[in-house]
Structure 1
Amino acid sequence: MKIVLVGPTYPYKGGGAHHTTELAHRLAAHGHDVVIESWRAQYPAFLYPGQQTIDAPEGEPFANVRRELDWRRPDGWLRAGRRLRAADLVVLTVLSPVQVPAYLGILSGLGATRRPATATRVTALCHNVLPHERKPYDRPLMKALLRRVHAVLTHSEQQSALAGELTPAPRRVAVMPPHLPVKRPGDAANEPDGVRERLLFFGLVRPYKGLDLLLRALAAGPPQVSLTVAGEFWGGLDETRALIAELGLTDRVELRPGYVPAQDVPGLFERADALVLPYRSATASQNVWLGHEHGVPVIATRVGALADHITDGVDGLLVEPGSVEALTDALNRFYAPGEPERLRAGVKAVDPDPYWSAYVETLLAP
């Protein structure tokens, strides 16, 4: 089967690029003829305030990549659609409604203007059907896209139900498989060597991820415990610094704003007793698996798919979302004598192969 994945790959960074790249490798390993149709310019800078690209790949790049799509060139969207008519399956990787105009242009080039009236099957692979922090145009844009594809693939039943509000197209659900950065020779090993009395908040910092809740819980929790916050801030950095000062946490919180290169990730987890994910909302996330891959338990809220990958009291702790009190209680429970060591002993690295086999089977189902 000739398959075209439309989405980000190296030199773009982040989970979407990792997922697209690994999916291409997995499909090619199944014997399919795979091309990634990627971007030379994916978003305008004002819509994506973080660092968009990286200088060195964080995994094995996929060889068969075409980088011609440009958010500034609608003529290129149409050309791409005409070019993709030779494919058996086109997968549109949907990370944001901002991509929808380009995808509608591609669909127009394919011949799907009002409904999926094209011989080439088109699947919308939705990392999020709608954003966590929504704009008025998000819903109509996604409705316009999802009504023009043959099928929608989401990563949870909740997201599938949300897609069902927007389109009558068939919907499929597959658990997002692990697509973690490849460990390299010389990466730090996270061998247990006692309690470090340090927690880690890792990844993109946006309001829905609840860093403010964690800071308030830290102030009310075990006084000897510190926190490292490592990741890009999409706004709110000054407000975060002000909150840290207000709570008297200046000496206990280390801020490392900015994208964390893959080679620096193991060292961050090496210093931490646990990864904390205090999200107010979530869909699918790699961060639980990332923590477990580096040998640390995860303290997370019961939102989205986070709870699906944590066994409460075995390899982490689960708490209700949006509650400083519940998160404070979890920190106190985690740092009870012997608990960090016990929970660390329960952590097991994930085997990605069964997840990917099921994912590819669901994606390719007729």
Structure 2
Amino acid sequence: MGNPALRIAVVGPAFPFKGGGAHHTTELAHRLSAAGHEVVIESWRAQYPRFLYPGQQTISEPEGEPFPGTRRRLDWRRPDGWWRTGRALRERDLVVLAVLSPVQVPSYLGILGGLRRRTPVVALCHNVLPHERKPYDVPLMRRLLRRVDGVLVHSGAQADLARGLTGRPVRVAEMPAHLPASAKPAPPDGKVRRRLLFFGIVRPYKGLDVLLRALAAGPDGVALTVAGEFWGGLEETRALIAELGLTDRVELRPGYVPAADVPGLFAAADALVLPYRTATASQNVWMAHEHGLPVIATDVGGFGEQVRDGEDGVVCAPDDVPALTRALERFYTPGEPERLRSGVRPVDHGPVWAAYLDVLTGAITGAVRAP
């Protein structure tokens, strides 16, 4: 059953910022509004210093429909604005802080200072702690999660991590799709292209190096496209490709991939590969399924639930070159790419979103207000 209409503020990135966090914040606001809530987004004029976010931060054209009730008053350089934003939100029924990185914590503490506990606050944690941690990550997140009234995470493992940092109520809800709008997916033509796709920001925890070594040891004649921003390691990746003799089989497309280019990338591949060492939740499985592609993924985070091994993809052990090599060989068994593609079904995300909103707004109606 749905919860009563609320006045809700979602604090997080929105257009012109790009990426999954901005897509999620915007889609969340649209869904809350459609459910009858009065919603605003408090977004940023400037979100991170350049040295903390080496990739492209903003885009010139929105990928999807921007939320009309978006205010861009926050600036990492203006702590006084953090407090003023919190003060302006005191009359809201719920404030949702979209937590993407511990780097946001000082600004969120400023907002909490402005709120003065007048409004219940939920920390919506995309990751409770980063995959690649700094010494300050745990103390910052502990301080934030002990100041809010409730925490929402996207997996049981993340809930356990959050409960190790705070005694506040922690709720779990599956992260629903918030895919960037793009051109219509190309209809499948049934051809096996012997090409795989690695898509998205390239960081060490995503295991591209493991995939390259497995590709070199795996089935002959299989190519790979790597499309996404490199957060360091581009030259090291090029050197590894040369060392493994893969120069003619690996295409690197470093840099942000506009949504309009996504259908062509997926149409040119037989499968999306997610060789992550660790994961929480990812939209990439849903994106592959929307484009009719099976997925080869490691059994981390939610991949083992999103990918049905032997039905619409292949699941293998993480950080294990032989295991991933066997997965590639299994995928390219004659007839298998076609069979796995035929098992791909785009998910109906409406019920997932409805459950997500119930859990989020239930943070208020469920009386989790901290003493």
Bin the TM-score by the shorter chain: over 0.9
C-alpha separation in 1, matches of 2:78 and 2:165: 27
- 2:221 is matched with 224
**For 1:3-22, what aligned pairs fall within 5 Å after superposition?**
3-22=8-27
Give 2:93's match in structure 1, choosing from 75, 82, 88. Answer: 88
Contact 2:91 2:118 in 1 (8 A): no
Matched to 2:243, the amino acid is E
- 2:133 is matched with 134
Matched to 2:154, the amino acid is H
Classify 1:358/1:188 alpha carbon distance in 2 versus 1 (closer, same or farther; 3 Å).
Answer: closer
Q: Which moved more, 1:228-237 or 1:175-184?
A: 175-184
Gaps in structure 2 of 5+ consecutive residues:
1-5, 367-371
Classify 1:246/1:212 alpha carbon distance in 2 versus 1 (closer, same or farther; 3 Å).
Answer: same
C-alpha separation in 1, matches of 2:298 and 2:51: 30
Query: Is the counterpart of residue 64 in structure 1 residue 64 in structure 2?
Result: no
C-alpha separation in 1, matches of 2:141 and 2:217: 42
Query: Is the counterpart of residue 355 in structure 1 residue 352 in structure 2?
Result: yes
Contact 2:224 2:251 in 1 (8 A): yes
CA-CA distance at 1:182 after TM superposition: 2.1
Q: Which moved more, 1:191-200 or 1:274-283?
A: 191-200
Gaps in structure 1 of 5+ consecutive residues:
112-117
Contact 2:197 2:224 in 1 (8 A): yes
Give 2:35's match in structure 1, choosing from 16, 30, 34. Answer: 30
Report how many aligned residue pairs link the two structures.
Answer: 358
Q: Give every structure 1 segment of 4 or more consecutive aligned residues whose post-TM-superposition deviation is greater than 3 Å.
A: none
Contact 1:190 1:266 in 2 (8 A): no
**For 1:182-221, what aligned pairs fall within 5 Å after superposition?**
182-184=181-183, 187-221=184-218
C-alpha separation in 1, matches of 2:185 and 2:272: 17
- 1:257 is matched with 254
**For 1:1-366, what aligned pairs fall within 5 Å after superposition?**
1-111=6-116, 118-184=117-183, 187-365=184-362, 366=366
C-alpha separation in 2, matches of 1:286 and 1:200: 15
Contact 2:274 2:297 in 1 (8 A): yes
Contact 2:185 2:291 in 1 (8 A): no
Deviations 1:252-305 (A, max 9, x none): 000000000000000000000000000000000001111111000000000001
Contact 2:185 2:290 in 1 (8 A): no
CA-CA distance at 1:188 after TM superposition: 4.8
C-alpha separation in 1, matches of 2:230 and 2:182: 25
CA-CA distance at 1:23 after TM superposition: 0.4
**DSSP-derived class of the 1:85 partner:** coil
- 2:3 is matched with none
C-alpha separation in 2, matches of 1:282 and 1:183: 25
Contact 1:8 1:20 in 2 (8 A): yes
Contact 1:190 1:269 in 2 (8 A): no
Matched to 1:175, the amino acid is E
CA-CA distance at 1:350 after TM superposition: 1.4
C-alpha separation in 2, matches of 1:188 and 1:144: 44
Matched to 2:308, the amino acid is T
Contact 2:190 2:338 in 1 (8 A): no
C-alpha separation in 1, matches of 2:47 and 2:187: 36
Deviations 1:162-209 (A, max 9, x none): 00011000010000001112233xx45141331000000000000000
Contact 1:217 1:328 in 2 (8 A): yes
C-alpha separation in 1, matches of 2:164 and 2:245: 46
C-alpha separation in 1, matches of 2:187 and 2:204: 30
Contact 1:41 1:71 in 2 (8 A): yes
- 1:114 is matched with none
Q: Which moved more, 1:191-200 or 1:158-167?
A: 191-200
Q: TM-score of the superposition, structure 1-length normalised? A: 0.97
Contact 2:182 2:262 in 1 (8 A): no
Q: TM-score of the superposition, structure 2-length normalised? A: 0.96
C-alpha separation in 2, matches of 1:363 and 1:174: 8
Q: Percent identity?
A: 71
C-alpha separation in 1, matches of 2:53 and 2:69: 26
Contact 1:200 1:227 in 2 (8 A): yes
Q: CA RMSD in A?
A: 0.7
- 1:115 is matched with none
Contact 1:2 1:88 in 2 (8 A): yes
CA-CA distance at 1:119 after TM superposition: 3.2
Matched to 1:108, the amino acid is G
